[in-house]
Chain A
């Protein structure tokens, strides 16, 4: 105990040895607080929780800093299901004495489990709702709510009491008694519970007057009223002893009844549960199967697409590798070029180039192929054209027009810009009497070389032939 003025520890004297303040009365107040705490503790130990609350509250009225009294008060409230009230006391205790306070542990235990705290809060809310329903005359609903509350928190004394009161209102005395007895198991000194129980016992044993304990005395019978019926229950009546055969018979009947109950109640339930589990399994497998089927279909679609791609690629490869394929044509071109380099034979090379031009479209080939083809063609063709022109020109000058036509046609075919060869060809056709071919050749001379003297001559010959036709 410390001095209220200087804070020093007090001695046995009625004054403070440090500041000389008069602490006689103050010490008495502190002692009274301790006395009430001890009383509260004793009551709590014998489960007189209501009495303990009264004593501990008195203790705190004398000394609010009596931490042990406050913590015990919290515990008592917690035991009676008033968790939030208990928390209030512990939090206050923690604020008054932050160091080495067991209230800290109590608060942690309650608050560490958030699900449990939420459940407690729900219980309290349900209880408050039930209380409101009672005031609104919805007592059936209130009974349902209170049953839920007690299923969640069986130590909730107020809920037991309220439920008992509702049962009493409905004259369900046995149920009311059951609830009140549960109350007494938690809190033996609750005057309200005892008063209700006395009323209930009077109603259960109306003939016994005001002696509630008479119901338990060793009498011949107990009478009590349940709703509109008076029930007489004999006491101290023992079943007459029977022989061993009847006992065995009873055991046998009991076993048969038990097995029948098992067969009709437990087995169908187990079968139903097993069926449900099987259905769940089948459903699960079915779902997995659906997923796999969908996956298989998707993969089959991918396989079809890939097959199409493979066939397309095979076609392309065939195009490159086949008899008339690109690779084959490239090989021919290489052979033509090699043969020309080795032999210098223009005609063979020209025939090879013509063969290649017949096989493939040169413009669609690779760049290397096109360049090689055009290089060989650019070397071979002018020389060949010149060769044919010289042959045709010689024959034309020798007046062998029919023989000259062939070489001149080749010369023009290989070199369209050879004006002289084209003109000689036109003259040869005219002399040989092939007027249509001559006119066509003259038209080419006129079209390709319009400013030359051969074009002027071609015009006059063409007009003459056209007039003759």
Chain B
């Protein structure tokens, strides 16, 4: 049996035109590729630093 109050909580206000700019700027665009590249770069820098110490 569906609970009306609980179902109502699943509905959220739609974006209005006035809010569009904020929505665009506040959008988190970080993706898996960014994280991966950052990780690879960090590893490479660590290896270089280790090589210098040795």
Contact = CB atoms under 8 A, between A and B. Distances in A.
Interface of A: 4, 21-22, 25-26, 29-30, 32-33, 60-65, 82, 84-85, 87-88, 91-92, 117, 120-121, 124-125, 127-128, 131-132, 134-135, 158, 161-162, 165, 168-169, 192, 195-196, 199
Contacts of B10: 192
A64 B35 CA distance: 12
A219 B10 CA distance: 37
B14 A169 contact: no
Contacts of A29: 32-33, 36
B52 interface: no
Interface string B5-17: 0011011111111
Contacts of B36: 25-26, 29
A32 B31 CA distance: 12
Contact of B16 (A128, A195, A196): A128
A63 B15 contact: no
A30 B31 CA distance: 11
5 contacts: A26-B40, A63-B33, A64-B31, A84-B16, A132-B13
B13 A64 contact: no
Nearest to B41: A5
A84 B8 contact: no
Contacts of B14: 82, 84-85, 124, 127-128, 158
Contacts of B30: 64
Contacts of B32: 29, 32-33, 61-63
B19 interface: yes
Contacts of A168: 2, 4
A4 B15 contact: no
Contacts of A26: 33, 36-37, 40
Contacts of A62: 31-33
Given A26-B37, A124-B15, A128-B14, A60 B24 contact: no
Contacts of A61: 31-32
Given A21-B40, A32-B32, 7 more contacts: A62-B33, A65-B33, A117-B17, A121-B16, A121-B18, A134-B8, A199-B2
A84 B11 contact: no
Contacts of A165: 2, 4, 7-8, 11
Contacts of B16: 84, 121, 124-125, 128
Contacts of B31: 60-65
A135 B10 CA distance: 12
A192 B11 CA distance: 11
A134 B12 CA distance: 12
A84 B23 contact: yes
Contact of A82 (B11, B15, B37): B15
B33 A158 contact: no
A85 B33 contact: no
Contacts of A91: 20, 24
Contacts of B8: 134-135, 165
B27 A88 contact: yes
Q: Which 5 A-B pairs have the closest CB atoms?
A: A84-B15, A64-B31, A128-B13, A121-B17, A62-B32
B54 interface: no
Nearest to A59: B31
Nearest to B38: A4
A6 to B, nearest CB: 12
A85 B37 contact: no
A410 to B, nearest CB: 112
Contacts of A117: 17
A84 B11 CA distance: 17
Contacts of A21: 40
Given A85-B14, A165-B4, A199-B1, A4 B19 contact: no
A169 B4 contact: yes
A162 B12 CA distance: 10
B24 A92 contact: yes
B24 A64 contact: no
Contact of B33 (A4, A82, A121): A4
B18 to A, nearest CB: 8
Contacts of A128: 13-14, 16
Contacts of A131: 11-13
Of B15, B29, B34, most A-chain CB atoms within 10 Å: B15
B26 to A, nearest CB: 10
Contacts of A92: 24, 27, 29
A60 B23 CA distance: 17
B20 A84 contact: yes
B6 to A, nearest CB: 11
A158 B23 CA distance: 19
Contacts of A162: 11
Given A84-B16, A88-B27, A135-B8, A196 B2 contact: yes
A174 B29 CA distance: 43
